[in-house]
Structure 1
């Protein structure tokens, strides 16, 4: 298993944070993570993604977010959903800038 201080994927980083807080077996943490991230309407999923990215960004020295295409499969986003998408895009842009400075 890799050291959590190394560059890891977001699920791995979330997994290490859960284990530090006394989480259960690794499989249950990963399953819970996937279930939480994909639960609810698109709006809730965006909140989940932004929240995890923010938390992970505060806990690691270097965060790499690789998004070639961010796709949301809905016919129409309401204003709140669009604002959350913009927050997520802004966060990814900010992280990319931070990675270039490191």
Structure 2
């Protein structure tokens, strides 16, 4: 990640999420302030924390309940759908298509 060809602000955000995931008790206000100094808004930091927390929850829920993974064919189908339309399912017939957008910084 440190050598990835991405903006420094994104590297800072990913490093923060890594810290939150690996050592949540070590996250301090100063860590959040560094993100804000890199240009991230309070809302963007909140979103990053929420995504990290939700993935941790989902992983533990899946592991604890014994939910089985998708078959290779279903992964392929799901990947094609997400590549074409993102994570959101297609809107119901008669509704306009959803538009994407850049995350707020």
TM-score range, shorter chain: 0.3 to 0.5
TM-score if structure 2 supplies the norm length? 0.33
